[in-house]
Structure 1
């Protein structure tokens, strides 16, 4: 422990159910001397922490004086402003996290957070993590603007958005998130704009126009690049090895070209000698050679080949360069060999400081070709990308199983970068890559019951309960109308389409179907309740089940079908 770090004494107040778990977290915190914290735990006379009231805190703390603790933390689920009791307690009182699984993260970062009195601290913990990233990038930007390129490590690349914002990557900056519109020529301009909007909202910084192998669509590129830039402040890349599509991308204002290889580099350089091309154009180099664009597989030869391409480009004034060693799918042809190629390349670049441009990696080559949940794979691949000093992380959202993968990649890039600048493993940082699982532990029932009905084994006490439960279940159709439920993953909204009967149309002044949209199940069922669209209990249960299922499907990026279990 740093001798200059003051020991903070913190009192944690909790309820009966979570007391043991909070005490374990306090013990873990106290044993980590580098945190310089001493946490004590006391139990309020309530089962559930959310039920803690001001009177409980005042009573529990009545014997404490100002110097006993630096502050008191209450559970984040408490519903009142802790400032209400400021004059009655000598020690400041703040709100902690809602869930015990987030409490250690808060305590580990407690000195960097302005603790709240109204809102749970876990919201601030996430904001604090993002603020740390933003401040670090701001500091790096100031250093780069005054000192220029660093003497060691990958070179910094510079791009300019349509609005004029300078975007830096490479070096010690975080990588750009590049999201591909796969088979772009198959979509209408309206569909391309819709996908662009969705990708940007998911965190993409570069929209990649993926061309179709064996076809050529330069005219589409010339239309679409200006169209996107007119509607969105975003960088654009063109993904093609065909020179006519590359030229179309350059002439229409694309910011990056994917991909320059051993064959098209000749025509590319010939073109740049005839026509003025901005030397800040981003160029991603790939290890393909010959007219058939054959892949180079030997890691050493691949590294030498990529660097030879960079030397030719640099001699012609191009310096916004990235190396793509081509990540491959697991098992066949094999991911580990391709990762080794990145290592060989990075090692070679350390001896070629003049051409030490950053790397580029395509995560989709793995997760699109593995039938498993994407979130864990993307988090691990993003961490690997950070270790490889990648300046470009390329991803897609093509097949249904990859729904939400751009958002997952953005979150994972932030986690990896925060881990790097914090010089710490990617855990307990306020950011995470969880989609389905979490670090939180479910509460266990502590209340005793006088009777138990176990429907999983059909164990039902004889008598009134058995007679009622074993009745045939009858779904009674509502007199108001009926619902159809959907989810829109592009807008992240739940949709409840109500088909009203004539009496309801007349009562509400409706001419036809009514569409209710919302981000949460609660927002929609509150509207349903206020409009009195459900009157039968069985119908209410059904609506509640489907709304909850729809909300959950959005949260985990899963397909939703009414009357069907989630996959």
Structure 2
């Protein structure tokens, strides 16, 4: 029987108790001891100090020694000095259970913290599994078991039981310039979209604009592009320009679209008058009739859209029942799932909503997940759906709930608290209640003032410096991190008052929170009012 691994965890005096607490949460049979070096904070430990002090302790009986992940520098010299295996552990004690449970398979490092290595390892495994699943979908789709939309060497494909195709719409593309369309298409592709949809304005009548918009999207990305309109002339122009999928056909326009029968088409339950039946039973019946008509007209590659929505007179449950009933009648048929119909019509944060929509789509077995980022509240939905569908697919294959995976959609919340409690040794001799401090008059900094802005395209913070009462900034400092910006401000001697420096640090921190969360940044106002 293999003997359990013996691990020594090294930390500082103040952290020892909660390091032991977290280490004891492990599920593995790894034997663990915790050693506190005589320093108050683990981050103060240096490799040379660790090598010198650890020689005083009997550490030769351990299979490996884990130093704090926050220790700066390379620990290779520590291992050589002790003639043992010394590596960096996680940065935070809260991550110890996860690290200890997989420590024998982790490629530990003397340079990189174990928490980062664990995340990298799991992410690589997950990506290999996703690639294998996509390769399986391609093989099956090429044999006719699924749907395959090609564009040269690239394509979007699906087979029953495989990942759905993520389709992202550029809304009202006909109103946009070629560069705006290209920017949106590149953005969607970078977020994980398998296809980009060119959405036309309601009312139709702009076939030239449809062709122009499709060409602009095709020039920008390698993935297939679809055309979305109710106008047959716009759809025809889009296909002639290179669109590989039609959104959408119904009883009112299928006859006019018959010349495009070689192109895959999404079919909806709309009747000859363009009206969609209210009840799910009627919708499914009408959808089957429209699919039969499309087949009679010669369309070979059909995708069914039972219509997902929650706007009256429809209810969300009723629309889901439509999907359930259709797939009960036609199991394995390629189905279109309009997740954006729900997210755009709900004033809720999109990450959790998109996860549930991806989960529902996966469990129903849909072929397409469709979304749009037409409003500020849904910005990020393509990336969220891309991540969400990977989560549910990986969890399904592991036969576990969608948690403890190498990716998640935790943005404002977290699985484990990493805060360190106030320790007995940190109790102050004197406590000042900040609320009781008298307000002092505001003094303008002789060096000038700052206006803080954020650049969402580059993901950077911009600090504009104004001398005196000047209307135009004399200097601009930009950077992706607040500390980089304020250090440059100090280095350039652009601030002289302590309260002004503190104010700048506060505002720069707010700007970073706004960048990360998507909230608006307005100087002197709360990010979360």
- Aligned to 1:295, the other structure's residue is in SS state coil
2:58 to 43, 63, 69: 63
Aligned-pair CA distance for 1:327? 2.0
The reply on whether 1:515 has 2:497 as its aligned counterpart is no
Aligned-pair CA distance for 1:550? 0.5
What is the distance in 2 between the residues matched to 1:120 and 1:223? 50
Aligned-pair CA distance for 1:566? 1.0
1:444 to 392, 408, 421: 421
Is contact 1:376–1:433 with CA below 8 Å preserved after alignment? yes
What is the distance in 2 between the residues matched to 1:111 and 1:312? 60
What is the distance in 2 between the residues matched to 1:121 and 1:331? 51
Aligned-pair CA distance for 1:145? 6.2
With over 3 angstroms needed to count, the CA separation of the structure-2 counterparts of 1:145 and 1:185, relative to structure 1, is: closer
Aligned residue number for residue 124 of structure 2? 131
With over 3 angstroms needed to count, the CA separation of the structure-2 counterparts of 1:357 and 1:77, relative to structure 1, is: farther
The reply on whether 1:204 has 2:193 as its aligned counterpart is yes
> Where do 5+ consecutive residues of structure 2 fail to align?
none
Aligned-pair CA distance for 1:381? 2.1
- What are the superposed Cα offsets for residues 35-82 of structure 1, whole Å, 9 maximum, x if unpaired? x5425241423444433444447755842446x43x443333222223
> Where do 5+ consecutive residues of structure 1 fail to align?
31-35, 351-355, 459-468, 505-510
Aligned residue number for residue 435 of structure 1? 411
The reply on whether 1:289 has 2:271 as its aligned counterpart is yes
- Aligned to 1:214, the other structure's residue is in SS state coil
- Aligned to 1:248, the other structure's residue is in SS state helix
Q: How many residues align?
A: 522
- Aligned to 1:390, the other structure's residue is in SS state coil
Is contact 2:228–2:247 with CA below 8 Å preserved after alignment? yes
- What are the superposed Cα offsets for residues 363-413 of structure 1, whole Å, 9 maximum, x if unpaired? 222232222222222222222222222332222222222333333333323
Cα RMSD for the two superposed structures: 3.3
What is the distance in 2 between the residues matched to 1:316 and 1:87? 77
The reply on whether 1:533 has 2:494 as its aligned counterpart is yes
Map 1:124-523 onto structure 2 (within 5 A).
124-140=117-133, 143=136, 155-161=145-151, 164-269=153-258, 271-272=259-260, 279=262, 281-291=263-273, 293-310=274-291, 313=294, 320-329=301-310, 333-350=314-331, 356-441=332-417, 442-446=419-423, 447-456=426-435, 458=436, 469-470=437-438, 472-500=439-467, 513-523=474-484
- Aligned to 1:487, the other structure's residue is in SS state strand
Aligned-pair CA distance for 1:307? 4.5
With over 3 angstroms needed to count, the CA separation of the structure-2 counterparts of 1:341 and 1:501, relative to structure 1, is: same
The reply on whether 1:120 has 2:113 as its aligned counterpart is yes
Is contact 2:204–2:234 with CA below 8 Å preserved after alignment? no
Is contact 1:415–1:433 with CA below 8 Å preserved after alignment? no
TM norm structure 1:
0.81
Is contact 2:193–2:382 with CA below 8 Å preserved after alignment? yes
What is the distance in 1 between the residues matched to 2:138 and 2:372? 33
Aligned-pair CA distance for 1:449? 0.4
Aligned-pair CA distance for 1:452? 0.8
RCO comparison, higher one (Cα < 8 Å, 6+): 1
